[in-house]
Structure 1
Amino acid sequence: MNTPAAPHDPTAPVLIGALAPLTPPGWVDAGHHLLTGLQAAADHVNATGGIHGRPLRLLVRDTAADPDRAAAAVDELADLGASALAGEYHSVVARTAAARAHHRALPFLCSSAVLDTLTDHPSPWIARLAPAQSHGWRTYADFLLARGHHRIAVTAQPSAYWQAGTRILHDHLTPRGATLTTLDADPHHPRAVCDALAHHRATALLILTGVPEPALPLVTALRRDPRLTGLLIGAPAGQPELPTWTDRLGPDGAQIPFLSYLPPTLDPAAEQVRTTLRRRLGREPSFVAYEGHDTITVLAHALREHGTDRTALAHAWPRLDVQGTRGRIRFTPADTGPHQWQWAPVQVVDRDPHHPDRLRVLHQG
């Protein structure tokens, strides 16, 4: 069992806890990309001198999309002497982890979770790289309106995250003359969703569900239904970004717009990161991998500049100014939540039907 490093030992590793969904029911693809980004950045830190000569070590814990498991992991990592906490993809899990990190006075830089209410109150211990859900999903709503969609439907699983997304879309779309209908149909029964869509005559359906089930069978059913020819299928949460989508759906998974948190182009240093991530993943890295890489880059900078003391790190959030793969990262204290990078780049993209491995930029946030 690992034990906390002695503070006076100049050779002891600097420990960072890393949370990611690595087994079901967590979104394993996202967890794999996130962890790959975290580890690639940690390896780069160690190859360039570590933290003043001390190696950086990630203590990886699988949350499996389970909030209770995440809370237990935060307690364990705090007891092991981690200087900070990084990662997590699922918003509800990250929210629990943030609450526990606040309680344990453990700095937590959240990589990917977007739920606006990541914390119920301002916390000096919590910061976030991913844009708040309201920022990204309003951009998605603007894209729909710009494409002429005013009869929009959603099919959603019960979850605080999906409910929040539906509310954001409704509040942004309806004042602009659009309607947003929540289908009274279980997404686990694709035929019922198709029937409801045909009845409502919506021109766009947003799939607010998990992957692979029930999203993938639903997309297949929608593509096969002749009543729904011309329907725009959307996935604002970014489900088409990860490998399972393309591998399982093939051409059916193309032309489904989703949110991506990447800039239009990468600078030369970020292109080198892309090459590293692509080699490790065996395919093009998702924005989630870049989020992971940026997380460790920011934490390493903070550790080098402000030391390993947890309180000093928490006080450093507003003073950080770090070049990440996707832009200059600075944090703004939020009135009701974590310190926030405002903002990571936001795009609406889809997969090219002729080259499904390529993304096409449809709208810039």
Structure 2
Amino acid sequence: MPLRAPLTLRSTPAPDLATLLLAGGKGTRLHDLTAQDSKPAVPFAGANRIIDFAMANAVNSGLRQMLVATQYAPRSLHHHLPTRWGHRFEPRGLQTRDGRDLYLGTADAARRCWAPLEAMGGDHVLILAADHVYEMDYTALLAAHRASGAAVTVAVDTVPRGEASGFGVMQADADDRALSFQEKPADPAGMIGDPDRALVSMGIYVFDRAWLRAALFDRPAGAMDFGHDVIPDAVAQGQAAVWQLPAGSSGRAYWRDVGTLDALRRAQLDFIGAPPVALPFAGPVSDWYLGRGSIAMPGAVVAKGARLTNTLVAPGAQVPAGLVTGDDPKEDARWFTRTDAGTVLITQAMLDSRAAHAHIRRSVTSPAPFKRRGLHA
């Protein structure tokens, strides 16, 4: 089934804007999928990687310059980004900066990258997260920020209050001024006027350049994070506004943090049928959807006769005929990674361990060959 093509590139570039894409996340809750790769580099729905959504949004917003700050296991991103996206930016407009063992938080990454950001020009700095699936026109966010008069505008979405504890939670007044900010609170605050839902930060910000420079450098060097330090300070000063993600080309707003195995699998299932947003690199659903809620990542092969339910097959894994997942939680957890919600992750190393154990068991339980006694006259 064909998927919708990417959005059309703007005919005119966006205004001068310094853009930093934070792409260093380790993604520990994705378990073995990020053993040798960062979270933004994890495959998504065939030929896509998670980072490609932010890249497509940047291109479709007319941005022609971007600095990408990498950190954990950056090698594949340093190859992928210029190969797939370099031609969509100005000459040398797409740069990567390796921050392994260097950045001490998201805001510290911005501080250490300040010189190339300042060289991009413009009066505003756009900070993007590389590990979410969404569609956004960044120029609309920039326009809202300019109209607000605030020092920073935070892009936000709404989620059920019971699901908000994993996010930065905000409250805002009728004029979209931020009143409070809590980073991953145990008891999230509900929205004013809609207490069953919470307003959550998408990790996407537009700053006035001068204000951000002061926020980054008018404090001691060391660990510093946007969610823990910079945004709360802006809210406390009355200098923060919010901008809610509007409906996209599908007619509804869509934003997913795919930081867990369950979220990663379920988000890919959203792209079966009528996709909520365009895939940057569309292809046949049959290339990656196995049925029964299961996803095959690039290079994975599932033999005929295997029956997988709610399963992620990691890149390169060769699933043998007869393998069954999703029927017996204990058996799934014995050999594979299984979440409490029932998502199963299969890697080649897990399959090899299972096969080796089965071989040893057969060797131990097989009876010794029968030896006929010699007969004597």
- Whether these two folds match at TM > 0.5 is no
- Larger % of helix: which? 1
- Bigger Rg, which one: 2
Q: TM-score, normalised by structure 2?
A: 0.30
Q: TM-score, normalised by structure 1?
A: 0.30
- Larger % of strand: which? 2
